[in-house]
Every structure is written in structure tokens, then in C-alpha cells.
Amino acid sequence: MTLKIEGLTAEVEGKTILQGIDLEVPQGEIHAIMGPNGSGKSTLSYVLAGREGYEVTGGTVTFNGQDLLALEPEERAAAGLFLAFQYPVELPGVGNALFLRTALNAIRKTRGEPELDAMQFLKLARERMRALHMPEDMLKRGVNVSFSGGEKKRNEVLQMALLQPKMAILDETDSGLDIDALKVVADGVNAQRGPGFSALVITHYQRLLNYIVPDRVHVLVKGRIVRSGGPELAQELERAGYATVQAAA
Amino acid sequence: MPAVAETLDTVQSVTSTGYKWGFETDIEMEFAPKGLNEDIVRFISRKKNEPEWLLEWRLKAFALWQKMEEPRWAAVKYPPIDYQDAYYFAAPKQKDRPKSLDEVDPELLRTYEKLGIPLKEQAWLAGVEPREGEGDVPVAVDAVFDSVSVATTFKDRLAKEGIIFCSISEAVHAYPELVRQYLGTVVPQGDNFYAALNSAVFTDGSFVYVPKGVRCPMELSTYFRINAKSTGQFERTLIIADEGSYVSYLEGCTAPMRDENQLHAAVVELVALDDATIKYSTVQNWYPGDENGKGGIYNFVTKRAHCRGRRSKVSWTQVETGSAITWKYPSCVLLGDDSVGEFYSVAIANNFQQADTGTKMIHVGKRTKSTIVSKGISAGQGQNTYRGLVRVAPTASQARNFTQCDSLLIGDRCGAHTVPYIENRCLTAKVEHEATTSRIAEDQLFYCRSRGLSEEDSVGLIVNGFCREVLKELPMEFAVEAQKLLQISLEGSVG
């Protein structure tokens, strides 16, 4: 399940944000994308997930050899792609349990697996929630409604843990988290780690990468990847800041 | 309830168009001549073998109706209705009212089966009672086909508790004192144009009486079906809950797809005495017309409850997904001290549907309380109006009302309107009104889709969330049906 991005350019409301991105995330690897504000990190994640209004103007993206850009958002999810939102969306009145189960069953259906009934689902959800230190009443509340910032992020990781994607994009999942929550979230991601799971961890800070140690780090500046390297690149950025790479770009 | 859900699925799979209940039953019918005059009123009364007092009552209504004009204040538009160009009586042909379901035309039973009504009480009605704990909780059903009630189930079992559940025609003969005592006392013949028309030509409907202190052990339900062409349906329902009793009543309705508009002008009267509770739920799914606005039912309905007794309570819950035009304001007159009125509503206007619906809460007794929760959903070029009146009389000291009206818009060619009327003439009363209008946000849709849900499932989920406060008031069996219905009604509304 390799994600391969070649020469990707994209615009939002007529403004070019991605200026030609080349990136390959081989199966089983975790890559981090770091970059200053406004470098196009979130745009990249939305383009990959297929959000409306994010216009691809050039380049290709393949996922396991399949043309990802030709797929609807739900088809990308069915293909095994998962986006953990930077700002998870509230769905008033929609119970979290119902939402999670509906999503899980939609994915299971495409995989040819039997749907889970309410009891089977509850059992599974409780198990996953315990690992993420989530109180059970979060199942009963409306999706993300009056969740704290940390609860929202945990809820994203819970969805990932339930849907078992082949490739997860974590869009600034660390933002707004205290150190304890950060560890819990990182544990959730690390638990998925294995030969069948790859991830693109998008972050502004190096902090998260102490807990989710990436195989590769890429630096995104002004819509282009300007440097790539091993985990030590993140440390270097932490010390020197983005100014040096920005100057290089 | 699996039986309902399964049948719904079946019905959906046999019809390919958006409206899944649009089939027509080929059955031999008996009609009164087209048009409306005193002779037709007499014809209906004679057909039903009615006592003289009821004929007089009808004729009085007809005289009133002739002097009245159609109301024009609702925010709905439609061409003039030719009241002479319709049939006022249409009944499946049969010699006598069937004594058991075995005698009912099998074609009819198949129709109801297709609609998902569990007339499996067929056997039960014939005397075979279901064993305890077997299958679903039973629901007693009265089925009204065009102008007449064709079958009522579970009557014997209810009779053991002293509960009367039958067609109103039957009640006129079997319980004339009760009918005479209450008929028209909540909605008088001259109340409004459509109520007067109904009073003159009503053909059938349900009658319920729950005696003192009895809690009705099962849901009572009526299923209305308009089948015949150029026919109006004018049913009349009367429910009386005597002191300390409780009853939950459901109604559902569908009609075939036709190019013409058909009129449905029903009257529902509820009376709750001291400490009695009536819960009245409606899932209205009359044919809404096609996506160009052709055809569909005009649903002009008068529903009103009298909370006459102290601490009496009436709760209306409605899910209005069908009809070309809905004109409907289920109301509560809170006469008894400490009586309670509730109105929970979901109304959808998709394509060219128009809905002008709401409620009236009239506070007369002391410490009376009312709650109104209205959820309007507009899609396509639909127009949805909430129109509600809260009136507090000087006598209603410490009365309370809370009103919440939320509107959800899908697309940019539809409309949502909120028209609250508040008349408070009591200093110690408290009246609250809240209203919101929102749109299904792009980010909500994207969030759902990125989790693998199709666009239509996503809309369904968001809409059901929006309506949750209302849907949770429905009895469980209906809640499932209603949720599916909401989604089906909005198919094709995005994208």
C-alpha cells in the first residue's frame, strides 16, 4: 500500500497552494511532514482525502497503484485511507456510537465483511476506548459536540483504531494537546504500527515525533518539499527553526 | 421493529421511483356520484345507515360550509380547487362489513402487507391470540381504505380492558351516547372551512375510548390509504381518555402516485379528562407529487385536543414527509389546571412541496405548561413555514411555554419561514421562543464521507441528528420507520 505523489499542484479559491509535491510513503512506513504555518500542510491532507474546493491542477497521486484523485472521499476511505482532522467537525444530535458504527459498517461492507450489530460494536468500541483512556459516556454524546480539544483528538484516533485504515493522515493531531493527551494519542498511533499500516504525520512541532518516531521527515515550505531526511532532521529543525530551510528554499 | 423495516425494504425494491408507496390497488370500488350537494351528504349518511341526529349534524355542517371561504392566510400557493369535481365516497365493494379478516378482499390485505402494516393480526383477529412473549409487542391496527375502515385488529383483547377501538361508523351504532356526547365538541362543525367540509362528508376514521384508570396495553394505530382516483379522503378520529387513563395512538398514511392533486381533509378530536394522557403520533407520507411538482396530496387537516381535566396531558408528535401541501396545526386547549400540552414536529419540504404547519397552545387553566419543538427541513425548491400560536388567557396564572423552532436548509433554492404568534394576557405567565436556521455544512458532509459514508447516508445521518429531539418522542417501531422515511424523502436533494 504505497502512497505515491508526483508533481502535485493544487489551488484553493484560485490561489495556488501546492507547487509541485513529490513524495512516496512505502507500505509500513511512517513519514512526518513538518513546515511553518501556511506552507500547505493542511491543503495537502485535504487534497489527499478529496475535499471539495481543493482543486488539483496537476500531478498524480496513486495509492497501491490506484488513481486516488479519481475517487470520491468515501471511496478513498473504502480503499483504506483515513484522515484525522485538525479540527474535527461537530454533528449535533448524531450520537457518537451511531456515527462510529455507521462508519465502521460502511467500511466493513466494502471489504466484504459482515456488519457489526450494536452489541458487537459496543464491545469493540469499549475495548478500543479503554486503550485511549476515553470515558464511556463519550459514546452517548453527539459527535464532537461539547468535546474538549483533547477529547476531539482522541475521538479521531478512536475512529482510526476502529476503522483500521491502511494509511492514516494525521493533520496536526498534536495541536492543542497537553503532554499526557499527546502520549495517549501517540500510543494509539503506535499501536497501529506494523507492516500493513503507514502514516503521514503532519505537524508543526517536533514534540509529537518524540513519541511517534518517523522513518522519514519531510519539510514543506511554500507548497514544496524542500528537504527530506531521517528522524534527526526533526531535531535539527527544533534547534534551528524553519528560518534556515526557508532561506534555502 | 424488523417486520416494518423489512416490508419497507421490500416495497422499496419493487418500486423504482423516489416514492415507494405509489402503487395502485386494482379493486372493485363503489362510488357516490361526483360532486358535492345535500344529496351527496344524505347519500353518505344513508350508505352508513346513520341515525337521524347524525344526518342533521352533517347537514348543518354542509350549510355552514357553503357560506365559508377557503382560508388563504397560509404561506402556500395552489390553483383553486373545484370541489364539485371529486368523489366524496369511495369504498371497496363488499356486501357487508367483514366479520373477520378472512372476509376482507385479499387484494386489500396484500396492499396493506406491501405497505408494511402488520396485518398478521389476521390470525389473531380470527381468535388465535398470540402467545405471551411471542414476537413483537402487538400493535392494534385500524385500516382505512379510501372512505371506509376495512379492518380493525385486536378488538377483543382491548375489550377485556374495557377499551373501545373501532371505526367511527361502528361507534356511531354501537356507542351512540359516547359519540354524541363528544363529537364536534373539540372541533365544531363550523370551526373552519375544511373542518366544516369534513363534518359534512366524513366517511370513516377511528374511535377510541379508554375507561377510567386504564392504561392501554398496546399502541393503537390507524393506517390511512387513499387509493381511488379523483377521491378525497375525509376521515374523522375521536379519542377520549377518561380519568387517569393512558393511550398511545399512531397514524400512518400513503397514497398512489397520480398526476392530479387529491384532497385529504381530516379532523381529529382528542379529549383528556383528569389525570389522563394521550400520546398521538403521526408519520405522514402522502404522495408528495413528482420532482416537478405535479400531483400530490393536499393535506388540509384540523387536529385539536382538549385537556379538560386537571393534570391531563396531550402530546402530539408528527413527522411530515409527504403531501404536496401540508396545512396542519395540531393544537392543545389547556383547560384543566396543571394540564400539559406538547408538540414535537419534523416537517420536510423537498422539490416543490409546501408545508405550513405548527401548533396552537391555548392556556386557560392555572399552571398549564406547553412545549413546542419544531424542526423544519427544506430542500430542492421546498417552502417550509412554522406557524404557531401561544395564547395565555388572564386565568392561566403561572402558565409556562417553551418554543424552539429550528430550520435546516439543503441547497439554495428552498425557503424556511418562522411565524410565531404570542398573545400573553397574564402577568405571571412565562413564554419563551427560540429559533435557529442552519444549513448542512460542507465540512459536516466531508467529515462523514471521509469516514466512508456515501453522500446520501451522510445527509440522512445529519438530518436525523437534527431531528433527534422529535424522533425520540416516537414509539420505537415508528422511530425506525420515520428515520428511513426522512432519508428517502431527501434523496437526490444534494449534489
Q: Establish if A54 touches chain B: CB-CB under 8 angstroms.
A: no
Say which residue the cell 467537525 belongs to: A89
Predicted pLDDT of residue B121 = 45
- Top mean pLDDT of B34-38, B234-238, B470-474 is at B234-238
- Cβ of B441 within 8 Å of Cβ of A52? The answer is no
- Cβ of B464 within 8 Å of Cβ of A53? The answer is no
Question: Which residues in A lie closer than 8 A to residue B461 (C-beta atoms)?
Answer: 91, 94, 98-99, 102
**Residue B133 confidence (pLDDT) above 60:** no
Predicted pLDDT of residue B187 = 96
Q: Any bridge partners for residue B256, and if so which?
A: none
Q: Which amino acid is at B3?
A: A
> B2: how many CB neighbours lie within 10 A of its CB?
10
Q: Establish if A72 touches chain B: CB-CB under 8 angstroms.
A: yes
Rounded CA-CA distance A83/A119 in Å is 27
Predicted pLDDT of residue B102 = 65
Which grid cell sits at B208?
377510541
Rounded CA-CA distance A180/A207 in Å is 12
Environment class of residue B218 by beta-carbon count within 10 Å: exposed (0-12), middle (13-18) or buried (19+)?
middle
Q: Is the ipTM of this complex over 0.90?
A: yes
- Cβ of B457 within 8 Å of Cβ of A106? The answer is yes
> Does this model's pTM top 0.95?
no
Helix (H) or strand (E) holding B468: helix B468-471
- Cβ of A72 within 8 Å of Cβ of B442? The answer is no
Query: Mutation test of the interface with chain A: which of B344, B346, B447, B464, choosing the one with the most A Cβ atoms within 10 A?
Result: B447
Rounded CA-CA distance B178/B162 in Å is 14
Q: Establish if A228 touches chain B: CB-CB under 8 angstroms.
A: no
Q: Establish if B148 touches chain A: CB-CB under 8 angstroms.
A: no
Q: What percent of chain B has pLDDT over 70?
A: 77
**Residue A93 confidence (pLDDT) above 70:** yes
Question: Which residues in B lie closer than 8 A to residue A89 (C-beta atoms)?
Answer: 441, 443-444, 446-447
Spacing of C-alpha B6 from chain mean position: 23
Say which residue the cell 386489500 belongs to: B108
Say which residue the cell 416495497 belongs to: B11
Predicted pLDDT of residue B480 = 72
Q: Mean pLDDT throughout B460-485?
A: 82
Rounded CA-CA distance B406/B422 in Å is 17
Predicted pLDDT of residue B77 = 86
Of residues B441, B455, B462, nearest to A94 (C-beta): B462
Predicted pLDDT of residue B94 = 55
Helix (H) or strand (E) holding B81: none
Which grid cell sits at B333?
386547549
Q: CB–CB of B491/B482 below 8 Å?
A: no
**A222: region left, alpha or beta (phi > 0 left; psi from -120 to 50 alpha):** left
Q: Establish if B452 touches chain A: CB-CB under 8 angstroms.
A: yes
Rounded CA-CA distance B394/B129 in Å is 52
Lowest-pLDDT range of A193-207, B76-90, B410-424 = B76-90
**Residue B107 confidence (pLDDT) above 80:** no
Rounded CA-CA distance B336/B395 in Å is 11
Select from B196, B199, B262 the least CA-distant residue to B231: B262
Predicted pLDDT of residue A215 = 95
Which one has a higher pLDDT value, B103 or B301? B301
How does residue B155 score in pLDDT terms, banded at 50, 70 and 90?
A: confident
Q: Establish if B465 touches chain A: CB-CB under 8 angstroms.
A: yes
Question: Which residues in B lie closer than 8 A to residue A77 (C-beta atoms)?
Answer: 449-452
Q: What percent of chain A has pLDDT over 90?
A: 73
In sequence order, the 6+-apart residues with CB closer than 8 A to the CB of B404 are B372, B373, B374, B433, B434, B435
Q: What is the 3-state secondary structure (H, E, C) of chain A?
A: CCEEEEEEEEEECCEEEEEEEEEEECCCCEEEEECCCCCCHHHHHHHHHCCCCEEEEEEEEEECCEEHHHCCHHHHHHCCEEEECCCCCCEEEEEHHHHHHHHHHHHHHHCCCCCCCHHHHHHHHHHHHHHCCCCHHHHCCEECCCCCHHHHHHHHHHHHHHHCCCEEEEECCCCCCCHHHHHHHHHHHHHHCECCEEEEEEECCCHHHHCCCCCEEEEEECCEEEEEECCHHHHHHHHHCCHHHHHHC
Q: Establish if A137 touches chain B: CB-CB under 8 angstroms.
A: no
Nearest chain A alpha carbon to B444: A89
Select from B462, B449, B447, B445 the least CA-distant residue to A171: B447
Rounded CA-CA distance B386/B469 in Å is 17
The full length of chain A comes to 249
Of residues B441, B446, B453, nearest to A103 (C-beta): B453
Contacts of A144-151 with C-beta under 8 Å, sequence gap 24+, read A144/A88, A144/A89, A144/A90, A144/A91, A144/A96, A145/A90, A145/A91, A145/A92, A147/A88, A149/A176, A149/A177, A150/A176, A150/A177, A150/A178, A150/A181
Predicted pLDDT of residue B289 = 78
Question: Which residues in B lie closer than 8 A to residue A102 (C-beta atoms)?
Answer: 453, 457, 461
Question: Which residues in A lie closer than 8 A to residue B465 (C-beta atoms)?
Answer: 91-94, 142-143
Of residues B441, B453, B462, nearest to A106 (C-beta): B453
Predicted pLDDT of residue B96 = 53
Q: Is B14 helix (H, G, I), strand (E, B) or coil?
A: helix
- Where helices occur in B369-467 by DSSP H, the ranges are 442-449, 455-466
Q: CB–CB of B366/B398 below 8 Å?
A: yes
Q: CB–CB of B323/B293 below 8 Å?
A: no
Q: Is the sign of the CA dihedral A32, A37, A38, A39 positive or negative?
A: negative
Helix (H) or strand (E) holding B39: helix B38-47
Environment class of residue B495 by beta-carbon count within 10 Å: exposed (0-12), middle (13-18) or buried (19+)?
exposed
Q: Establish if A161 touches chain B: CB-CB under 8 angstroms.
A: no
Q: Establish if B468 touches chain A: CB-CB under 8 angstroms.
A: yes
Q: CB–CB of B220/B247 below 8 Å?
A: yes
Q: Establish if A93 touches chain B: CB-CB under 8 angstroms.
A: yes
Environment class of residue B177 by beta-carbon count within 10 Å: exposed (0-12), middle (13-18) or buried (19+)?
exposed
Which grid cell sits at B33?
356520484
Write down the mean pLDDT value for chain B: 82
Question: Which residues in A lie closer than 8 A to residue B442 (C-beta atoms)?
Answer: 52-53
**Residue B6 confidence (pLDDT) above 80:** no
Strands (E), B205-363: 206-210, 219-225, 236-241, 246-254, 261-264, 267-272, 277-284, 296-307, 313-320, 325-328, 331-334, 340-349, 354-363
Select from B441, B477, B481, B476 the least CA-distant residue to B462: B441
- Cβ of B450 within 8 Å of Cβ of A102? The answer is no
Environment class of residue B155 by beta-carbon count within 10 Å: exposed (0-12), middle (13-18) or buried (19+)?
middle
Buried (b) or exposed (e) across A35-61, using 16+ Cβ within 10 A?
bbeebbbbbbbbbbbbbeebeeeebeb
Q: Which amino acid is at A33?
A: I
Which one has a higher pLDDT value, B448 or B77? B448
Q: Any bridge partners for residue B402, and if so which?
A: B371, B432
Q: Mean pLDDT throughout B19-37?
A: 70
